[in-house]
Amino acid sequence: MMTSFPRLQSDNEPANTGQQQHHGIKKGLYLIPSLFTAANIAMGFYAVMSALRGFQMLGNGAEMDLARETFDNAAKAIGWAMLFDMLDGRIARMTKTTTEIGVQLDSLADVLTFGIAPAVLAYAWGYGSALKEGTDAHQLGWFLSFMYLMCGAFRLARFNVQATRPRPLSEGTVKLDKHSFIGLPIPMSAALLASIVHFTPTPLIQYGPHLAQIYSGLLMALVACLSVLMVSTLRYSSFKQVGTGRGSTRLVILMVAAVGMLIWLYSRYVLLILVAVYVLLGLLFRLGGIFRRSSDKEKEKS
């Protein structure tokens, strides 16, 4: 009787070919979110360099049209960065390739793209060129741009801490809510500044001394308000639950397609309206909550 022995594997034959291919595909999936994060960083770097280049062109009247186009390109780069920032996190969650280094890299990218880039753009396009250097108003513009960056960095740090430790950290700290953000998200804050520049890319210095000072004051007030909103406790919707229902998927797809087409055709108007409405929603919800609490107290007294 012949005894059968198990087939021995030769040295030249690859072992566990299926497992190796699966492991290689898995490693490739980890690169996809990082590529979108790298694209986010690239857009932020491009926005900063374009803003500086446009600021340099303002000294030459012959290059004013090119400066206008350069500022517009910087604003568009921030808009593209928002798209990449939304995709990298969603793709990482869909493919289950979320990593700690990816989370930290994404936050660092947001500091550049949505912190430094819009602060530099608002200064170069707006009050930095319109206000006389050395004046109190010009120095106030420097300070507000810096505070915008600091508040944005604090907003990102607070979000990371709450995400990793979702419980009250101290007295008065709000517990993490997956349905909403605490404070205005820094990408939406940057999007409002970028959409304003995209809506009217003409530098403020071109409107004449009187109007340039008025518009500069309004822009600095907006930068200050956005800084406060980012570190506030106002709640803003995260839209993470949109499209999760069984019957809402088709509706969401149609809405995304419609909004995308509107942005493609009328980007200057649609982007500014959408972002402005989102920023105002947090304030309206807070005012509505105050009115509801006051009415409830009156009912209890009565």
Domain boundary assignment for the chain: 28-238
Q: Which two tokens stand for residue 233?
A: 């406790």
Of residues 206 and 253, the one with the higher pLDDT is 206
Region 214-223: mean pLDDT is 95
109, 182 Cβ separation under 8 angstroms: no
d(CA 79, CA 63): 25
Please choose, from the candidates 301, 151, 291, 166, the residue with its C-alpha nearest in 3D space to the C-alpha of residue 226. 151
Region 129-148: mean pLDDT is 92
pLDDT at 234 over 50: yes
Spell out the residues 6+ positions from residue 57 whose beta carbon is closer than 8 angstroms to its own.
Answer: 63, 64, 66, 67, 70
pLDDT at 294 over 80: no
Q: Which value, to the nearest 10 degrees, does the dihedral of the CA atoms of residues 199, 204, 206, 211 take?
A: 110
Tell me, what DSSP letter sits at residue 234? Answer: -
pLDDT at 270 over 90: yes
pLDDT confidence tier of residue 172, bands split at 50, 70 and 90? low
Least-confidence region, from 7-11, 110-114, 274-278: 7-11
Region 162-188: mean pLDDT is 68
Please state, in angstroms and as integers, the Cα–Cα distance from residue 173 to each residue in 34, 53, 140, 184, 281, following that order.
32, 42, 31, 16, 21
Residue type for position 200:
T
Q: Which value, to the nearest 10 degrees, does the dihedral of the CA atoms of residues 184, 186, 189, 195 take?
A: -140
The DSSP bridge partners found for residue 181 are 236
Region 111-129: mean pLDDT is 94
Q: Which two tokens stand for residue 261?
A: 């087409």
pLDDT confidence tier of residue 217, bands split at 50, 70 and 90? very high
**pTM greater than the 0.75 cutoff:** yes
Q: What is the model's pLDDT at position 275?
A: 94
Residue type for position 183:
G
The CATH code of domain 28-238 reads 1.20.120
Spell out the residues 6+ positions from residue 285 whose beta carbon is closer than 8 angstroms to its own.
Answer: 234, 235
